[in-house]
Amino acid sequence: MKQYNVVVVGASGAVGQEILKVLEERNFPLGELRLCATARSAGKEMTCNGKQYVVEETTSDSFNDMDIALFAGGSASKEFGPAAVERGAVVIDNSSNFRLDPKVPLVVPEVNPEDVKWHQGIIANPNCSTIIMAVPLKAIHDAAGIKRVVVSTYQAVSGAGAEGIAELSEQTQAVLSGGAVKPNKFQYQIAFNLIPHIDVFQELDYTKEEWKMVKETRKIMHDESMAITATTVRVPVFRSHSESMNIETCQKLTAGEAKKVLAAFPNIIVEDDPATNKYPMPVDTSNKDEVFVGRIREDNTIEKGLNIWVAADQIRKGAATNAVQIAELVAEYGCARER
């Protein structure tokens, strides 16, 4: 089996660490592995496949002799992505820098794997909430077509990074001990609270996070006519995002039919049994790669409507696992670039 030289940029961060775990768990055919990050993290030691690696500061030369460059997020891909491409690496980018660029494939492997083939050096990893939504939507779209989607998200604090996790922990302790709560990472207190505001407000008073779900989903599904409206909410949960979706289909799909369609789709696990209170929850989906779907029922207000509830680990499937799956497609399709 051919091996691929891989560089992970942002290796010391939450997504970078998860990428290393996923590369190991999925037995990706690694040749040389190089770990890079900012100067602040340079010198840190990390382990993958039982081997110790020292994190290097990212420079343009970090991509010499590399086949695949996995960018864990942030601004690094904007700064170093072109250098990686110039040196012959395929960039798989977890940031929002290239997602809506018409020359860059935006890929969820269960949904549009073939798009990997037309890359010009960069492949974008979608927003975590978009990935989690797109997988079940694809299953339903293939079966009955989708006319309209109304989605509300319940996003874990780890989506805001380590600072979000620390803030929830600190504020929870402060509230329980009667101490003062001072918001820092989030706009308001997050402990014992919900904040219906993720990222900056943009046109029509939707946030950037909400527009990501609209625009990215249309691109991934190759359907600009799909009507999508989103409300994204930060909740006091450490890990795994949840989403409530109301879907209007083009053809009638009963709840029973929808369950069968979803259960048969790759990397979806249906947990749906009202009689035994079985449905997906963040606490049960953390550290797993599948998208969990439940509360599948027909919308009683329209003829062709469904309601579903979805939960998935946004650091795994919503970021690291999806990126490694894209790397696997690059290997499978033989579309790595000549160095």
DSSP 35-84: EEE-TTTTT-EEEETTEEEE-EE--GGGGTT-SEEEE-STTHHHHHHHHH
Return the pLDDT at 47. Answer: 94
Same domain (yes/no): 186, 293: yes
Return the pLDDT at 1. Answer: 74
Same domain (yes/no): 104, 252: no
Kindly state the tokens that stand for 181.
């709560």
Site of tokens 């040389």: 32
User: What are the catalytic residues?
Assistant: 128, 241
DSSP 118: G
Kindly state the tokens that stand for 124.
């974008």
The three-point CA angle 153-155-159 to 5° equals 140
Same domain (yes/no): 193, 253: yes
* pLDDT per residue rounded down to tens, the chain (339 residues): 799 999 999 999 999 999 999 999 999 999 999 999 999 999 999 999 999 999 999 999 999 999 999 999 889 999 999 999 999 999 999 999 999 999 999 999 999 999 999 999 999 999 999 999 999 999 999 999 999 999 999 999 999 988 999 999 999 999 999 999 999 999 999 999 999 999 999 999 999 999 999 999 999 999 999 999 999 999 999 999 999 999 999 999 999 999 999 999 999 999 999 999 999 999 999 999 999 999 999 999 999 999 999 999 999 999 999 999 999 999 999 999 776
Same domain (yes/no): 147, 269: yes
Same domain (yes/no): 324, 304: no
Task: Please report whether residue 338 resides in a domain.
Answer: no
Task: Please report whether residue 182 resides in a domain.
Answer: yes
Same domain (yes/no): 73, 166: no
Q: Which structural domain, as residue segments, surrounds residue 52? A: 4-126+319-333
Number of structural domains found in the chain: 2
Task: Please report whether residue 101 resides in a domain.
Answer: yes
User: Alpha carbon 300 to chain centroid distance?
Assistant: 31
Same domain (yes/no): 102, 251: no
Could you read off the pLDDT of 158-185 as tens digits, one per residue? 999 889 999 999 999 999 999 999 999 9
CATH at residue 258: 3.30.360.10
Same domain (yes/no): 202, 285: yes
